Structure 1
Amino acid sequence: MTTNGHVKHLVVGAGFAGLCAAIRLQEDGETDFLVIEKGGDVGGTWRDNTYPGAACDVPSQLYSFSFAPNPDWSMSFSPQPEIQAYIRRVAEESGTLDRFRFHTTLESAAWDDDAQLWRTEVSDPTGRHTITSTTLVVGAGGLSEPRLPDIDGIEGFDGELFHSARWDHDVDLAGKRVAVIGTGASAIQIVPEIQKVVGHLDVYQRTAPYVLPRNDRRYGRLERLALRHVPGLQRLYRTAIYWGRETYVPGFTLQPKLALPAKKMALANLAKGVSDPELRERLTPIFEIGCKRILISNTYYPALDSDNVEVVTDRIAKVTGDAVVTEDGVERPVDVLIVATGFFTTELPITGHITGRGGRTLAEQWREGGMAAYKGTTVPDFPNLFMLVGPNTGLGHSSMVFIIESQVEYLRDAIRTMDLHRYATVEPTPAATEEWNADLQRRMRRTVWNTGGCSSWYLDEDGRNTILWPRSTFAFRGLLSEFDVAAYDVTAARTASPSRPATAEEVTA
């Protein structure tokens, strides 16, 4: 990479979002782009989360690109290695990997109003470099930066300590005393796997989640052949799964009582999996289903019911060199401490590295009023910035790949509009952004996420849900089906650029 270079589009992140943007840009003839990725491969979340039992909780046929169907999934819910292999295969077949730069970290990105472009500082194994670009597309993901728990003394723990998203495969758990902090989506997959090999396992639970049965099944050889060769069959599978998932939306957003069948199913799963009445009571949620993320597993409850597992519901007071101490004074010795405590979601770390027109970072701007964007994608005072999986684009029921594809279509139309009308910059008006987010928060008031009686990672420190989309996914797609330039402030392109930009080939040389 040259010390200084220019590309038309700079994409940050090589997970589902960044890869989708790259493929679709290329389809439009937009070949002057570069994708930077701090990791060593495509995949994002599915590259990094390699813990035992890692798998998707959205069916495989829906958790994939609509333009790259995969007839070879082994299970109806894909395990992590298959998803990562799928992403890598799609990337290789797309012909875009020559414009991906791995082990390359965004250090800072600042909007240059005079030059009407983004100046991005990146670092890679060869040093630090500057890239300028007309647009900055951020696909860094909302579940990319692990959050460690704020527990007194945890930094002084003498045993093995790691986050579930950064699993240490060199640590042998066989026969060890292990503690898992957290009972979220990762923990319920990890616990049944490691329970089989550890000597003793303590699971520290703050609030009990709802866990539905995992209606998973293996695709047989004949079914996979049919999915590959029968015209329209795979699309039929995908469509049926999509609409089945959309039936959850009214129970989340309109009337929680509509989710009563799912609640009964979860409680029946608990009753089936746990024989001890006292343990069952501790594992019974005390909030409405859907208020927190609904989990799926057939093995989590039986694992907790095993003789070598203790579920601890007392709060952790501190961690010593070799033990976890709860507020009731009980000290539980531990050799390996696994924290499954989630990610930075309502204060995305990358936003502290992106500076807009006014000299403020995106983090500083959002600190005042919470994360907010126009259509979850663009932000006032940050011209030509497009966020994929931005504020209020998350889902509690369906596939984020659907959302990503919807946002990428919006990005594509924005670029076409800029090229057609020779706009140098597009930036959502404050009025349009305020109206969009006021409507979101109005709709959010009646959702189970705000009325269900729980606290969750969906809510920021002021209690605002800045993560989830409070409507159907087809409504989201419709609203982002075309770039609505009337909601934007635009500036015309200058007739001459201050200096000749380097080509994409020069930047990536």
Structure 2
Amino acid sequence: MVIKKDIIIIGTGFSGMGMAMKLRDSGRQDFVVLEKAQDVGGTWRDNTYPGCECDIPSHMYSFSYELNTGWSKSFSGQPEIWAYMRKVADEQGLRPFINFGVEVKGASWDEDRRVWTVRTASGEDYEARVVVAGVGGLHIPNIPEIDGAETFAGPRFHSASWDHSVDLKGKKVVVIGTGASAIQFIPIIAQETEHLTVFQRTPPWVLPKKDKPTPEWRKKAFATIPGAQRAYRNALYWSLEVRAIAFNGHLDVLPFAEKIVTKYLAKAIPDPELRAKLTPDYRLGCKRVLQSNTYYPTFLRDDVDLSTDGVREIVSDGVIDGNGVKHEADVIIYGTGFHTIDAFDYLDIKGKSGVDLAAQFRETGVETYMGIMVNGFPNLAFMLGPNTALGHNSVVFMIEQQTKFIIRMLDEMDRRGAVAVEPTKEAQIEFNIEIQRLVEKGIWTQGGCTSWYLDSHGKNRTIWPKFTFQYWWETRKVNAPDFAWEHAA
């Protein structure tokens, strides 16, 4: 059996839900959202590790057209964000459009019929004129290949697949990795474990987190005074937006922020040897900037060790470091992040002439038009695609601009009577030349580090290297000459 729809959306994170709402608001009802899980939420449903919370202020990390007056604090935790997303899905009536428990395995373009066939794990096919992939870049855990891992006798899991059945109380635990998730859960589990060993490859820049409970008077003001919350959100937007100045080529601004962190670290870690281990040797912003008030103090505990000697192998009862020293472990937790740039390797998408998207990206680089569409793959749109992630503001802002652009594209197709559309090769090349010219000036390239922002060729295929209001400007309309429009014969 083949289920036919005009538009298929994949995923129910902020991207998929945002797209569904805008489709419905535009009067388009013939669409379905395919979700592999049994509820909405994407990464905020799946990541349930202790201490999981957002590093963008709550009032910005939410839909601009679905404001929440009741955020409990400046930076909300996973349960509160997930509750917000479920509430939006309910109040906006999105659930009837969602097919839960449907895992997408791949998609292929039929040039003769000009439709996409989407294959699922159950073997059931879907067909649609347009496919919007809202799968995001933080959903495939990156578990490093370490010799002997399979011989480990105890539980072993990634932070994104936290095993809540494992009781860490009184256990010897090894954490491998010190990324964004790890700095959140390490201070919490350190209070339970008998001994905690953290393996750090590269120290992150960790800013103090200005996280405060939201006073009741503010919640009441947002709920009762017209425009109050909107004004607060706008102020937050611009306070975050100015950070792009430092990251996007104006590196002379960074020493001020770096000084704040080094002072914070010096105050938190009196021991010079330990402080040296925790001090980055690259510029702030080169890797993702993290925020925590509890991460550094955790290493002052007698029952917590920081290892910077690398991981040689895993044995049945522990981890062997690069110097051959064994660190005993009952449990191993990977805090090693996600596949981001190479996430497309896990998508089986075939476009015109059967061209495989992952193979094309490996050969030519991960290049798109506006991070949304790809030459050779008609009627396919990505949400938060290459070079549209942010290091300074809320990606929900970018998602909203992309949903509006896709609606404008659909309207333009209708106006022209086009059955298929894709960016021209020339327009795509021009876009990427400009993006790479800008990212090469930015901190991600000039900062002296290797990060998940970069692909195997050292090119930044992740970050939007401008202000977000520039993305709004550049996607505010469909520039028709940048596209090849195909009409019915």
Q: Give me the TM-score of the superposition, normalised by structure 2.
A: 0.99
Deviations 1:41-98 (A, max 9, x none): 1110100100000000000000000000000000110011000000000011111210
2:307 aligns with one of 312, 318, 321? 312
Partner of 1:160: 155
Question: Is the Cα–Cα contact under 8 Å of residues 201 and 309 in structure 1 kept in the other structure?
Answer: yes
Per the alignment, residue 195 of structure 2 pairs with 200
Q: Which residue of 1 aligns with 2:387?
A: 392
Counterpart in 2 of 1:374?
A: 369
1:170 aligns with 2:165: yes
**Corresponding letter in the other structure for 2:166:** V
**SS across alignment from 1:463:** coil
- Which amino acid letter does the alignment assign opposite residue 144 of structure 1? H
Asked if 1:288 corresponds to 2:283, the answer is yes
State the alpha-carbon separation in 2 of the partners of residues 235 and 297 from structure 1: 27
How many angstroms apart in 1 are the aligned matches of 2:233 and 2:179?
Answer: 27
**Equivalences for residues 274-353 of structure 1 within 5 A:** 274-349=269-344, 352-353=347-348
Aligned to 2:356: 361
Matched-pair contact (CA < 8 Å) for 1:352–1:361: no
Could you tell me which residue of structure 2 aligns to residue 502 of structure 1?
Answer: none
Which residue of structure 1 lines up, in the alignment, with residue 35 of structure 2?
37
Give, in angstroms, the shift of residue 350 of structure 1: 6.4
Per the alignment, residue 107 of structure 1 pairs with: 105
Structure 1 contact 11–139 (Cα < 8 Å) conserved: yes
**Hey, what does 1:59 align to over in structure 2?**
57
Counterpart pick for 2:480 among 470, 479, 485:
485
Give me the whole-angstrom Cα distance separating, in 2, the residues matched to 1:458 and 1:157.
31
Partner of 2:424: 429
Moved more, 69-78 or 261-270: 261-270
Give the Cα separation in 2 of the matches to 1:182 and 1:379.
34
d(CA) in 1 for partners of 2:277 and 2:266? 12
1:171-186 mapped onto 2 (5 Å cutoff): 171-186=166-181
Report if aligned partners of 1:409, 1:482 keep a CA contact under 8 Å in 2. no
**1:416-455 to 2 correspondence within 5 Å?**
416-455=411-450
Deviations 1:311-343, CA, capped at 9 Å, x for gaps: 000011000111100111110110010001111
How far off is 1:115 after superposition? 0.2
1:209 aligns with 2:204: yes
Aligned residues: 489
How far apart are residue 349 of structure 1 and its match?
Answer: 4.3
Indicate if the aligned counterparts of 1:410 and 1:480 stay in contact, CA closer than 8 A.
yes
Alpha-carbon distance in 1 for matches of 2:264, 2:179? 17
Q: Deviations over 1:354-406 (max 9, x none)?
A: 11012122101101022110000000110000000101001111101001001
Identity %: 43
4+ residue runs over 6 A deviation: none
Q: Deviations over 1:115-154 (max 9, x none)?
A: 011011113xxx3211110001000000011010121111
Distance in 1, matches of 2:367 and 2:385, equals: 8
Gaps of 5+ in 2: none
Which of 107, 125, 132 is the matching residue for 2:127?
132
SS in 2 for 1:286: coil
1:474 match: 469
Q: Secondary structure at the match of 1:329?
A: coil
How many angstroms does 1:231 deviate by? 1.1
Q: Is the 8 A contact 1:351 1:362 kept in 2?
A: no
Q: Write the distance in 2 (CA, Å) between the matches of 1:335 and 1:449.
A: 37
Give distance in 2, aligned partners of 1:46 and 1:350: 23
- CA 86–74 in structure 1, closer or farther in 2 if over 3 Å, else same: same
How far apart, CA to CA, are the structure 1 residues paired with 2:172 and 2:224?
50
* Shift in Å, 1:273: 1.8
Counterpart mapping for 1:247-286 below 5 A: 247-286=242-281
The one-letter amino acid of 1:287's match is Y
- The 3-state SS of whatever aligns with 2:353 is coil
What's the CA shift string for 1:13-50, capped at 9, x where partnerless? 11000000000000001100000011121110100100
1:503: which partner in 2?
none
1:88 match: secondary structure: helix
- Given that 2:105 and 2:347 are in contact with CA atoms closer than 8 Å, whether structure 1 keeps it comes out as no
TM-superposed CA distance for 1:351, in Å, is 5.4
Matched, 1:460 2:458: no
Within 1, Cα distance between the matches of 2:162 and 2:346?
26
**Cα distance in 2, alignment partners of residues 226 and 209 from structure 1:** 38
Q: Which amino acid aligns with 2:111?
A: D
Is it true that 1:82 corresponds to 2:80 in the alignment? Answer: yes
Kept in 1, the 8 Å contact 2:116–2:130? The answer is yes
Return the offset for 1:155.
Answer: 2.1
Q: Is the 8 A contact 1:275 1:305 kept in 2?
A: no
Q: Distance in 2 between matches of 1:445 and 1:264?
A: 24
Supply the distance in 2 between the matched residues of 1:6 and 1:493 (Cα, whole angstroms). 19
Cα deviation code 1:240-276 (max 9, x no counterpart)? 1111111111111122120222111111221222222
Contact 1:351/1:361 (CA < 8 Å) preserved in 2? Answer: no
For the residues of structure 1 that align with 2:347 and 2:52, how far apart are their CA atoms? Answer: 30
- Cα shift at 1:493: 3.3
2:224 to 222, 229, 232: 229
Say yes or no: does 1:95 pair with 2:93: yes
Q: Which residue of 2 aligns with 1:497?
A: none
2:91 aligned partner, one-letter code:
E
Return the letter of the residue paired with 1:254. Answer: G
Give the TM-score, by structure 1 length: 0.95
Larger displacement relative to structure 2 (342-351 or 395-404): 342-351
- Matched ranges for 1:399-418 at <5 A: 399-418=394-413
- Residue 114 of structure 2, aligned match among 113, 116, 120: 116
How far apart are 1:184 and its partner, in Å? Answer: 0.8
Is the contact between residue 352 and residue 364 of structure 1 (CA under 8 Å) also seen in structure 2? no
Q: After superposing the two structures, state which structure 1 stretch, 201-210 or 483-492, moved more.
A: 483-492
The two structures, once aligned, show a CA RMSD in angstroms of 1.0
Question: What is the letter of the counterpart of residue 159 of structure 1?
Answer: G
How far apart, in 2, do the equivalents of 1:244 and 1:272 lie? 26
